[in-house]
Structure 1
Amino acid sequence: MQARWDDIRCFLAVARDESLSRAGRRLRLDAATVGRRVARLEHDMGVVLFTKSPQGYALTGEGQRFMTHVARAEAAMGEAMDDLAGRGGALSGQIRLGAPDGAANFLLPQVCAGIVEENPDLEVQIVALPRVFNLSKREADMAIGVSPPSAGRLLVSKLADYRLHLAASEVYLGRHGPVNGLHDLKGHRMIGYIPDMIFDAELDYLGELGIERVALASNSVSVQFNWIRQGGGLGVVHDFALPAAPGVRKVLTREFSLTRSFYLIRHEDDRRVERLSRFAALLSEGVRREVTRLERLT
C-alpha cells in the first residue's frame, strides 16, 4: 500500500473541516476532487476513514489513528522545509489562528497585520469562534484560549493578563440614570452571554455578580459590545475594547473589576517547527504590547 501525499492532504483537510466543500475551499479544489481523493486513499489503505452524517464527515477509529500519524508527518515536512529554506529569514506560507472573538476583533487584527507587514509572503487566517478549538484535529495551527487546557498533547504559554469592567454608553446612562452601586444593577437592563452557551467558566462574568436574568444575550462578545455601544444596557467589557467605542464608559470600577488571562495553545508535535515557533513568539510579544497600550487609553 502506497498512499499519495495529495490524497493525505485531502484527508487532513476533511478531518479538520468535517466537510468536503470546506476542505475544498481550504485546498482550493472542488469538493468532488476532494471526495475522490479521500475515496482513493480509503481504497488504497483498505479501511474506512470517515463516516458521513447530516452533520458532516466524522473520523472513524481507524481515521483517528491515521490522523495522529499523518499530522506528525505534516509537521515534520514543515520543519524540513523551514530548515532547507534557512532559518532566520522572513516567514512565509499560511498560518491559521483560532481565537475567541473578543481577542479576534480587538487585538489580533492589528497584531497580525504588523507581523504580515514584516513578512510579506506570510498568510494569516484568524478563525473567530466562541468555543474551544480542537488542535488534535488541526482545526487551527494554534489557538488562543481564556484558560489553560488540562488534557491533550499541547504546548501552553501565558500570553497576557487583561482586565474587564462593567460599562454602559452615555446614551443609556442618560436615559436610565446613573449606577451608584451594585445594588442598582437589578433595576437596569443587563447584557451578557447566553447562559447555556458559556463555553468556559472564566467567561461567566455576570455570575460573579449574582445576576441571573440577562435581557440581551449572545454567545458573541462582539454582539454584546455593540449592544452596549448602541445603548442597549449594561454589560461586562474588555478594557482593551473600550478605545473602539468612545461613547462607552466604565461604571462601578471600585466595586467590580475582573482580571483574566489569554493563553497560547499549540500542538506538542509543532514544538520543533521553526516557522510556527517564530510566529508564536511574534504573536505573544504583539498581544502583550497591544493589551498594555489599549488598557492605558481607558
Structure 2
Amino acid sequence: MDWEQLRFFLELARAGRLVIAARRMGVDHTTVSRKVQALEKDLGRPLFLREPEGYKLTEAGRALLPQVEAMESAFVGISDSLPNLGEQISGHVRIGATEGYSTLLLAEQLVELGQRFPHLKVDLLALPRAVQLSRNEADIVITLERPERGPFIITRLTDYALHLYASAGYLAAHPPITEREQLREHRFVSYVDDLLFSKELIFLDELVKTNKANLRSTSVLAQQQAVAAGAGLAILPAFAARTDPRLHRVLAGDVSFTRTFWMLMPIELKDIARMRTVWNFLREQADAQQLVLLPTQSEQEET
C-alpha cells in the first residue's frame, strides 16, 4: 500500500464514478481501476461495491476514508510550505461558468494560470446554461444562482453591471429615446423565456412592459451580435458590450442593472491542492477585474 494508491481511492470515493475520478486525476479510467484493485489486494478486502449507478464504499472503505483524508490534509500542509509550488501542482480541474464570463474573461485569465502551474490541466465549460455540481459536471462552478442548500463551499465572487445597448444604425433609424416610456415603441433582443436557466436574467419586466422581443436567443453573445447588427435593444453585460465600438448605451443615466456571480465547489474537494489553487486564482482575477465588471460612473457615460 502506498500514497499513490490511496490518492486514487480517495478520488473514486468522492466521485463515485471511474470516469469522473479519472478526469480529476488526469489519467485513463483503467488506471483508476487498476490502482484501486491493487490497494484492495494489499488490504485483503474490498473497498467499493460496484453498482450500476456507480461505486459505493463498503464498510472497510468507509473506515479507511477519514484516515486517508487526514493523510491528504497533512500532505497539502507540507506542500504549501515548500518552494516552487507551481511545479508541484498537477492534475485536472474542470471549471463551469456562464457563457459570457467564460468566453470574455476566463479564457484569457486561464492562460496565466497555465503559465503559473504548467502541470495543471483545465477544462473550461462555457455554456449558456447552469452547470450542475450535483451531477459532477464540473469541480468549480461560477453561477448566477446561490444554492440555498448543499454540501458546497460558496463565495460571492463578484458583482457585475448590465446596461441597455443598441447599434448606431438602429438608433438613427428609429424614434429617439430620452425616457423609459418611449422604450415601448422599440424592438428588443432577449432570452428565450422557457429556456432561461436563471431568474437573474429576467430584465425586460423590470425595464418596460413590452411584447416586442422580436429576436430571442439562449446565448448572450448571440444577442450582442444581433444588437450590433441592428436587431433592436438589449440588456447586455458591461464587461461584454462596453468595448464593442458597434454598440451605444441607451438611457445611460437611468437604466442599469447589477447581478452577482457566485463560485461553488463541493466541500469534499476543498483540501485538494489543485482545487484550492484554482479557487484562489479565480478570486484573485475577479478582484483584479473590478473596473471591467463594475465600471465607474465616468466610464459608464454614453458614447
**Same fold per TM (> 0.5)?**
yes
Name the counterpart of 1:275: 274
Deviation at 1:222, TM superposition (A): 1.2
Amino acid paired to 1:101: E
Name the counterpart of 2:244: 245
1:220-259 equivalences under 5 Å are 220-259=219-258
Deviation at 1:246, TM superposition (A): 1.4
1:164-243 equivalences under 5 Å are 164-209=162-207, 210-243=209-242
Deviation at 1:85, TM superposition (A): 5.0
Amino acid paired to 1:234: L
Deviations 1:71-97 (A, max 9, x none): 999988976764565556113322111
Deviation at 1:266, TM superposition (A): 1.0
**Which whole-Å CA distance do the structure 2 matches of 1:277 and 1:127 have between them?**
19
Name the counterpart of 2:52: 49
**Which whole-Å CA distance do the structure 1 matches of 2:192 and 2:258 have between them?**
21
Amino acid paired to 1:220: S
Name the counterpart of 2:133: 135
1:1-298 equivalences under 5 Å are 8=12, 12=17, 48-50=51-53, 82=76, 87=81, 89-90=85-86, 91-209=89-207, 210-293=209-292, 295=295, 298=300
Deviations 1:57-113 (A, max 9, x none): xx7xx87999xx899999889767645655561133221111011211222122222
**Which whole-Å CA distance do the structure 2 matches of 1:218 and 1:191 have between them?**
8
Amino acid paired to 2:238: D
**Which whole-Å CA distance do the structure 2 matches of 1:136 and 1:65 have between them?**
22
TM-score (norm 2): 0.73
For the residue of structure 1 that corresponds to 2:160, the secondary structure is strand
For the residue of structure 1 that corresponds to 2:284, the secondary structure is helix
Change (3 A) 1:234 1:78: farther
Amino acid paired to 1:233: G
Runs of 4+ residues deviating >4 angstroms: 5-11, 13-16, 26-30, 44-47, 62-66, 69-88
**Which whole-Å CA distance do the structure 1 matches of 2:174 and 2:107 have between them?**
35
Deviations 1:120-171 (A, max 9, x none): 2222221012332221332111100113111211111111111111101112
Structure 1 stretches lacking a partner, 5+ long: 17-22, 51-58
Amino acid paired to 1:238: P
- The 8 Å contact of residues 82 and 275 in structure 1, kept in 2 or not, is answered as no
Change (3 A) 1:257 1:234: same
Deviation at 1:186, TM superposition (A): 2.2
Query: Who wins on radius of gyration, i.e. which is larger?
Result: 2
Name the counterpart of 2:41: none
For the residue of structure 1 that corresponds to 2:17, the secondary structure is helix
Counting matched residue pairs gives 274
RMSD of aligned C-alpha atoms?
A: 4.0
**Which whole-Å CA distance do the structure 2 matches of 1:234 and 1:64 have between them?**
54
Change (3 A) 1:86 1:230: same
**Which whole-Å CA distance do the structure 2 matches of 1:182 and 1:95 have between them?**
45
Name the counterpart of 1:20: none
Change (3 A) 1:169 1:28: farther
**Which whole-Å CA distance do the structure 1 matches of 2:18 and 2:204 have between them?**
38
